[in-house]
Structure 1
Amino acid sequence: MNLNNIHNIYFIGIGGIGMSAIARYFNANGKQVSGYDKTKTDITDSLVDLGITVTFSDDINNLEDRYLNPETTLIVYTPAVPKNHAQLNYFLDNKFKVLKRSEILGLITENSFCLAVAGTHGKTTTTSILGHLLNECNVDLTAFLGGISENYNSNLILNGDKVSVVEADEFDRSFLTLSPDMACITSMDADHLDIYGDASELIKTFEAFTKKLKPNGKLFVKNGLPLQGITYGIEDNADYSAQNITIQNGAYVFDVKTPKTVLKQFKFNLPGRHNLSNALVALAMSLEYGLPQDQLVKALASYKGVKRRFTYQIKTDDLVFIDDYAHHPEEINAVHQAVREMYPKDKVVAVFQPHLFSRTQDFAQDFAKSLAQFDQVLLLDIYPAREMPIQGVTSDWLLGMIDNKNKKLVTKQTVVQYIKDSKAKIVLTIGAGDIGAEVSKIKKQLLNES
C-alpha cells in the first residue's frame, strides 16, 4: 500500500494510547484524520484540540462523507474493539482497506531505520527513554510511545522520518508486523495467556520476532533470557552492564561497562532497578547506533519519565503519593522494590485495581504474593476491559489469597477514607484500568482540596 495515495484515515479506538500516537502522526503529516472511541478522555480531548474529529457512537450515520470512499480512505483499528462493532463491520463489508494498528505501524516504519522495543514489561519506559536520547542528540526521528512522556507531554516525538522508535507489542502477536534494524527484549514473563494459552507459546512468538530483524540487525536481550544477542544487565557480566551504582539525591548515578570500555557518571532520575535496566538498554542501543557519550550523559540526566510510571502526585515531608500502571505481578514486585529502596522505613499502603478477569485468574497466587509485601492493601473491583466476567474470579476471591492482615476490599467512593485511616506516609495506586482516571480525585482529597 502506498500511503501517499491515502488522504483520509479513520481510527476505530482512536483514544487508545498507541492509536492516538499514530493519529497525531498522520494529522501532523497533512492527512484528514478522524475516529471513534467508546469514552471521552483526556487523550480524546487532546486530539480534538488538534482539529481531529472524534465521535463516541459507532453509528455509521455519524461518519463524514469523505471517510466513505474506499479508494481514498484507510481504516485503522485496535484488536481491543469488539468483533460486532458496527463501523468496523461496515468497512469490512464494503471493501475498505482495513489494517490493525500494528500493521500500519509496520508500513510507516518500513522505510526508516527502525529501533523496536519488545518485552512483557518495560516497553513504554524504554521506548520513551530511547526516543528522548535520540531526540536530544538531534537524530532525525519519529518515536511512537505507549504512554505520555513527561518531557514532551505527548505520546509522539516528531522530529523527522529517517529513524523510527516503536514499541513492539506482543499482544495479539502484533510485533510480527515489524522489521526492525535494532530491537531489544526486556522480559518474557508469562502474560496474555488468553491469547497464547501457555507461556511456551509466548516464548515461541518472541523467538519469531527476533527473526523479523533486517539482515545484519542487532538484537539486545536482558541477561538471562534464553535468546542470542547483545546482553545487558545490572552489575553482572553482560556485554553492557550498569556498574558502581549509587543513589544521590533520589537519583541513580552509575557507570556503563561496554564491550570495549567503561563510560563514567551517568545520572538517571527514575527510581527502581527495573527502570535503571530500561535506561541501560536504551543507552546500549544509542551507543551502538553511534551517538556520542557526552551528549548521552546530558540527555539521560534530563529524562523526566512517563505519566503513570512511578509518577509522583504528591511529594512532601509528610505524604508521598505515587501512581503506577503496574498490572502484572512482576511489575508490582518492581514497584515494591523501587518504593522500598527510596522509602525503607515508611509505611506503604497500596491501592490495586486488577486488570482483566483472565489475567487475575491466571496469576492469582502471584498477585497475592506481590501485594502481600506492602504494609496495607486496598483492593478495587476487577477492571474488565475487553472481557466478560469469569465465574468465581472476583477481587474478593483474590483478597482471600493475600497473606496480609491489613487488607480490605474498597470502592472508588470509599478508597480515600481508607487511605487516610491507614496513617501511611506512602500511598500507591496501581493498575492499568480506569484507576488512572481516579488519581486526580484521590490527590485532591488527600490534599483536602475541593
Structure 2
Amino acid sequence: MAPGLPPAMDRPHFIGIGGAGMSGIAKILAQRGAEVAGSDAKDSATADALRALGATVHIGHAAEHLADDASCVVVSSAIRTDNPELARAAELGIPVIHRSDALAALMAGLRPIAVAGTHGKTTTTSMLAVALTELGLDPSYAIGGDLDAPGSNALHGAGEIFVAEADESDRSFHKYAPEVAIVLNVELDHHANYASMDEIYESFETFAGRIVPGGTLVISADHEGARELTRRLAGSVRTVTYGEAEDADVRVLSVVPQGLRSEVTVELAGARLTFTVSVPGRHYAHNAVAALAAGAALGVPAAELAPALAAYTGVKRRLQLTGEAAGVQVVDSYAHHPTEMTADLEAMRAAAGDGRILVVFQPHLFSRTQELGTEMGHSLALADASVVLDVYPAREDPIPGVTSELIVEAARAAGADVTPVHDKADVPAVIAGMAKAGDLVLTMGAGDVTDLGPRILDQLSK
C-alpha cells in the first residue's frame, strides 16, 4: 500500500493551485486525505476537478485566502516574492516549501520512476502511467498535462510504483531520488536559468547522481546531448541506452507509420518485440521505447508492458485532435522549442497525406524567443503556411527588442509563407480564409493559443 500524508502536509495551501505541476500534487494530497486549499489567477476546469475532491480553491491572490491554521504553503518557481499570500505566510510563520519538495515527499517509501529531458517528458510519463495502470499495477503518477479530462494529471494509486515528470527548468529535479530515471534528450533551453550547455550538463549529472544505489538510468543512444551526458557520467550509474544507434542496449529496429499510429519493433535482452504506439510520429515511438526500457528496469516484464503501451492514446495538447469542420482538421500541439516544433510538424506531414499543414504559432517566453527565434522560424518553414502571434510572456517581463518579428523574419528568410497577427481575435477569420478541405491546422505553443482551436472550427463551419 502507498504511504499516507507526508509530515506537515495535512493542511497545505497552494499558491497557483491550477498549474499543471501544482494541481497534480494537490490532487494526490487530497486523495490521501489532506485538507487542501489554494488560489489561482483564474477559474478553470482543473480548479473544478480539485473542488470535486474536496479542495478549497480561491480565485485571485489575496492574503485572506491563506487560512491561519495552514500547515504549509506550497509554491512553484513562477510565484513572485511580492505575492500577498506568500507575505501572509511569512507573517504567520507558516513554512513555505517548493512544489518539488512536496512531490519528493509524496514519492518517499515508493519505487519512483522520474522522467527527465528537454522534450517529451509529459508524453513519456503519461505512457508509463497508462501502461502500468493497464497491467493492473495501480501506480501513482504526477504528469505535466491532463490525460483525458481536467484534473487527470495525477493519481494516488495503491501500488508501489510512482511515475513523475521531473522538471529541469528550475533544477527542481535535483530533489528526487528515483529508482529509475529517464533522460530523453539534453538541449539548451530555459535561458533565464541556464547560461550554457555546460550548466545544463552539470544539472543533469546532479539529477543522475540522485538515482538510488542499485537503480538505473535509461537514456537515449541517439540524441547527441544524451550521449554526451552518458560520456560525462562515465559508468558512475548503471545505464541502459535505447534508440536506433547500433550500440543501444534496447535497439529500435523499425518504426512503421500507420496513419495516426506506428508499429514499433525493438530488440531487448536478445528478444524482438513488436508493438503499437497509438499516436503518430517517430519521436513518440521513441518515447514509448524509453517507457518500455524503464518499466523493464523496474522489473515489469517487457513482453507484457509493450502491448499495454498501446492503451496510451494521447495527452491534452500533445498532437490532440480538437475537431474537424468543412473538411479541415484542427490539431493542438504544445511544441514551443524548435526541436519539438520540427518533430510535430514532421509527424503531421506524415499523417496529413496530400493535405496542407497550416500552423498558428504562439512563441512562449521572451528569453526563449531571444535565444531560439531563428530556429523557430526555420521550423515553421516545414509548414505550408503559418500565422505567428505575439510572444506569450508567462512568468517573464518583456525584453527590449525581443518580439515575434524575430521568428517571422527568420521564417521568411527560410522561404516560409508567414503572416504575423497581433490580435488573437483575428486568427479564426485569417485561417478560415486560408484553409481548404483536406488541410490540417495546427495550433502550436505552450501558451493560450490552444483556446483558438474551437474558434477556428466555429469560423470554418460558417
| 171-180 vs 318-327, greater mean Cα deviation | 318-327
Deviation at 1:153, TM superposition (A): 6.6
Matches within 5 A, 1:61-80: 61-63=64-66, 67-69=67-69, 73-80=71-78
Which residue is 1:156 aligned to? Answer: 154
Which residue is 1:35 aligned to? Answer: 38
Which residue is 1:133 aligned to? Answer: 131
Which residue is 1:278 aligned to? Answer: 287
Q: Closer, same or farther in 2 for the Cα pair 1:151/1:287, shift >3 Å?
A: farther
Which residue is 2:85 aligned to? Answer: 87
Matches within 5 A, 1:272-351: 272-315=281-324, 318-351=327-360
Separation in 2 of the partners of 1:4 and 1:336? 46
Deviation at 1:197, TM superposition (A): 1.6
Deviation at 1:192, TM superposition (A): 0.5
Separation in 2 of the partners of 1:221 and 1:47? 35
SS of structure 1 residue aligned to 2:144: strand
Which residue is 2:194 aligned to? Answer: 196
Is 1:241 the counterpart of 2:251? The answer is yes
Deviation at 1:100, TM superposition (A): 0.5
Deviation at 1:286, TM superposition (A): 1.4
SS of structure 1 residue aligned to 2:214: coil
SS of structure 2 residue aligned to 1:307: coil
| 410-419 vs 183-192, greater mean Cα deviation | 410-419
Q: Which amino acid aligns with 1:26?
A: L
Deviations 1:82-107 (A, max 9, x none): 11111112213432121111111111
Is 1:439 the counterpart of 2:447? The answer is no
Number of equivalenced pairs: 442
Q: Tell me if the contact between 2:384 and 2:416 (Cα under 8 Å) persists in the aligned partners.
A: no
Which of 80, 102, 108 is the equivalent residue of 1:104?
A: 102
Q: Closer, same or farther in 2 for the Cα pair 1:344/1:189, shift >3 Å?
A: farther
Separation in 2 of the partners of 1:254 and 1:79? 38
Deviations 1:34-79 (A, max 9, x none): 101112222122222333221123221233xxx3136xx1211111
Q: Which amino acid aligns with 2:83?
A: H
Deviation at 1:315, TM superposition (A): 4.9
**TM-score, normalised via structure 2 length:** 0.91
Q: Which amino acid aligns with 2:270?
A: K
Deviations 1:200-232 (A, max 9, x none): 211110111110000011001111421332111
Is 1:119 the counterpart of 2:117? The answer is yes
Which of 358, 375, 387 is the equivalent residue of 1:378?
A: 387
Deviation at 1:250, TM superposition (A): 3.3
Deviations 1:305-341 (A, max 9, x none): 1010001122579322110100111110111110112
Which residue is 1:406 aligned to? Answer: 417
Deviation at 1:362, TM superposition (A): 0.9
Separation in 2 of the partners of 1:121 and 1:430? 15
Q: Tell me if the contact between 1:151 and 1:303 (Cα under 8 Å) persists in the aligned partners.
A: no
SS of structure 1 residue aligned to 2:379: helix
Which of 140, 143, 146 is the equivalent residue of 1:142?
A: 140
Which residue is 2:443 aligned to? Answer: 429
Q: Which amino acid aligns with 1:227?
A: L
CA-based RMSD: 2.0
Deviation at 1:152, TM superposition (A): 9.2
**TM-score, normalised via structure 1 length:** 0.93
Separation in 1 of the partners of 2:149 and 2:297? 24
Separation in 2 of the partners of 1:289 and 1:3? 24
Separation in 2 of the partners of 1:331 and 1:353? 14
Separation in 2 of the partners of 1:158 and 1:76? 18
Q: Tell me if the contact between 2:443 and 2:452 (Cα under 8 Å) persists in the aligned partners.
A: no
Separation in 1 of the partners of 2:211 and 2:149? 30
Deviation at 1:291, TM superposition (A): 2.1
Q: Closer, same or farther in 2 for the Cα pair 1:148/1:332, shift >3 Å?
A: same
Separation in 1 of the partners of 2:90 and 2:99? 15
Deviation at 1:110, TM superposition (A): 2.2
Which residue is 1:219 aligned to? Answer: 217
Q: Closer, same or farther in 2 for the Cα pair 1:235/1:416, shift >3 Å?
A: farther
Is 1:367 the counterpart of 2:381? The answer is no
Deviations 1:157-209 (A, max 9, x none): 33215211101100110000000000010111110011112222111101111
Q: Which amino acid aligns with 1:207?
A: E
Is 1:415 the counterpart of 2:427? The answer is yes
Q: Tell me if the contact between 2:240 and 2:293 (Cα under 8 Å) persists in the aligned partners.
A: no
Deviations 1:91-138 (A, max 9, x none): 134321211111111111121111000001000000000111111112
Instruction: Report percent identity of matched pairs.
Output: 35
Is 1:45 the counterpart of 2:48? The answer is yes
Deviation above 6 Å: which 4+ runs of structure 1?
none
| 37-46 vs 101-110, greater mean Cα deviation | 37-46
- In structure 2, list runs of 5 or more residues that go unmatched: 231-238
Which residue is 2:235 aligned to? Answer: none
Q: Tell me if the contact between 1:129 and 1:279 (Cα under 8 Å) persists in the aligned partners.
A: yes
